Amino acid sequence: MKHIVTGGAGFIGSHLVDRLIDAGDEVMVIDNLSTGKREFVNAKAKFIEGDIVDKDMIERVYSEYKPDYLHHLAAQIDVRYSFDHPIIDAQVNIIGTLNLIESARRYSTRRIVFASSGGTVYGEPDRNPVPESYPNIPVSPYGMSKLVSEKYLDLYKRLYGLNYVSLRLGNVFGPRQSPKGECGVFSIFALKMLKGERPTIYGDGTATRDYIFVDDVIDSFIASLDENIPSDYYNIGRGEETSTKEVYDLLAKVVGYSEEPIYSDPRPGEVYQISLDISKAKENLKWEPKTSLEEGVRKLIEYIKEKEFY
Ligand SMILES: NC(=O)c1ccc[n+]([C@@H]2O[C@H](COP(=O)([O-])OP(=O)(O)OC[C@H]3O[C@@H](n4cnc5c(N)ncnc54)[C@H](O)[C@@H]3O)[C@@H](O)[C@H]2O)c1
């Protein structure tokens, strides 16, 4: 099988590429290395350094490579950045996605698996865990751009029969997640604690997210390739709410860190509390998360120490 993985030099994408290569498949990565790293890309994968907004490049790569599957993970991923730069966010996340969907349609791709965002397409739910049927009321340009991309996937399924699976991911954590950006609280806190610095919690620590370890997310991408799976949206999380302070305490326990966090003002535009109802993914994708938060944290800490990122 031949796969294109956009964003394959990034945190989640690079793990997906490794898994596909390990299974004996061929992979072409398209990534502009804006946040991804060349060294994360599996040596057996083909690599194109390019921007998904560049329609001609996408068309050229697609027409030459003609993949069976497209895994679309390249994105502007920073929720807070999307408030100040909604047009750039839309160009990458909507137009970039549309460029890929158009080529996928022309070259009869068997399925597109899309990295959507369970943490942002619903907005602020009034009950948790939130099912896929819950209304979509995003509260950020990023959430809106993910939602619009999903709508295009759905439209292309209805117009042209192009199959897709949109994975509405919770908050993913694990090795290779950058501690430098605004996302990835596990990596940010872990690095600070290992350096002996005090991490900052925005808000009072009671905000919750549905955190999931990266290996479990990769399982869901692989499960999505089964041709019997209906083209649809699926929540991918652990179905549990974990507060920022609970994340802090778990990391502190594993690292052996005893300082209290610095508390700062909550950041506007962020959802307060959310977890995802994963029944539909369990039933249709025959998928479920296997890694406990503590197990995931141990693997993350081991990785950071080994790589001497600090
Ligand atoms: N990490 C999470 O918790 C999470 C949650 C929900 C959804 N997602 C989605 O999963 C996907 C992967 O996220 P990640 O956490 O691995 O982030 P990441 O930043 O590590 O990966 C994104 C990759 O896309 C590349 N990229 C960005 N803009 C590009 C462009 N215009 N053209 C080509 N490549 C481009 C980056 O260089 C990077 O390698 C994204 O679509 C993100 O929105 C992530």
Which of 77, 79, 187 is the pocket-test mutation for ligand 1 (most atoms within 8 Å of CB)? 77
Please identify which of the residues 122, 134, 142, 233 carries the catalytic annotation: 142
**Of all atoms in ligand 1, which is nearest to the CA of residue 181?**
19
Ligand 1 centroid distance, CA of 125 (Å):
24
The proportion of the chain whose per-residue pLDDT surpasses 90, expressed as a percent, equals 94
Instruction: Identify any residues that bridge with 4 across adjacent strands, giving them in sequence order.
Output: 28, 70
Ligand 1 centroid distance, CA of 127 (Å):
28
210-234 per-position pLDDT tens digit = 999 999 999 999 999 999 999 999 9
Model pLDDT, residue 308: 62
Ligand 1 centroid distance, CA of 257 (Å):
30
**Of all atoms in ligand 1, which is nearest to the CA of residue 40?**
39
**Of all atoms in ligand 1, which is nearest to the CA of residue 9?**
39
Distances from the Cα of 224 to the Cαs of 147, 155, 166, in angstroms? Answer: 19, 19, 9
123 secondary structure, DSSP code: -
In Å, how far from its chain's centre is CA 224? 15
Model pLDDT, residue 89: 98
Q: Strands, E, within 221-290: which ranges?
A: 232-236, 242-243, 262-264
Residue 234 bears catalytic tag: no
Fold of 174-208+240-275+291-307: UDP-galactose 4-epimerase; domain 1 (3.90.25)
Model pLDDT, residue 267: 84
Domain ranges of the chain: 2-172+211-238+279-285, 174-208+240-275+291-307
Ligand 1 centroid distance, CA of 142 (Å):
12
149-185 per-position pLDDT tens digit = 999 999 999 999 999 999 999 999 999 998 876 679 9
Model pLDDT, residue 206: 97
Q: Is the domain defined by 2-172+211-238+279-285 classed in CATH 3.40.605.10?
A: no
Q: Whose CA is nearest to atom 41 of ligand 1?
A: 73
Model pLDDT, residue 181: 67
Please give the Cα distance from 4 to 50 (Å, whole number): 13
45 secondary structure, DSSP code: S
The sign one gets for the Cα dihedral 13, 46, 72, 90 is positive
Model pLDDT, residue 217: 98
Instruction: Identify any residues that bridge with 276 across adjacent strands, giving them in sequence order.
Output: 130
Please give the Cα distance from 305 to 310 (Å, whole number): 8
Which of 12, 80, 122, 177 is the pocket-test mutation for ligand 1 (most atoms within 8 Å of CB)? 12
**Burial (CB count within 10 angstroms: exposed 0-12, middle 13-18, buried 19+), residue 102:** middle
**Please, are residues 179 and 190 in contact by the beta-carbon 8 Å criterion?**
yes
Model pLDDT, residue 309: 58
**Please, are residues 28 and 17 in contact by the beta-carbon 8 Å criterion?**
no
Ligand 1 centroid distance, CA of 54 (Å):
17
Does pLDDT of 310 surpass 60? no
**Please, are residues 41 and 72 in contact by the beta-carbon 8 Å criterion?**
no
98-107 per-position pLDDT tens digit = 999 999 999 9
Q: How confident is the model at residue 270 (pLDDT cuts 50, 70, 90)?
A: confident
Q: Whose CA is nearest to atom 10 of ligand 1?
A: 115
Please give the Cα distance from 126 to 239 (Å, whole number): 16
Does pLDDT of 119 surpass 90? yes
SS3 120: coil
Residue ranges around ligand 1 (CB below 6 Å): 7, 9-13, 30-36, 51-53, 73-77, 92, 96, 115, 117, 169, 171-172
Average pLDDT for 79-108: 97
The proportion of the chain whose per-residue pLDDT surpasses 70, expressed as a percent, equals 98
Q: Whose CA is nearest to atom 11 of ligand 1?
A: 73
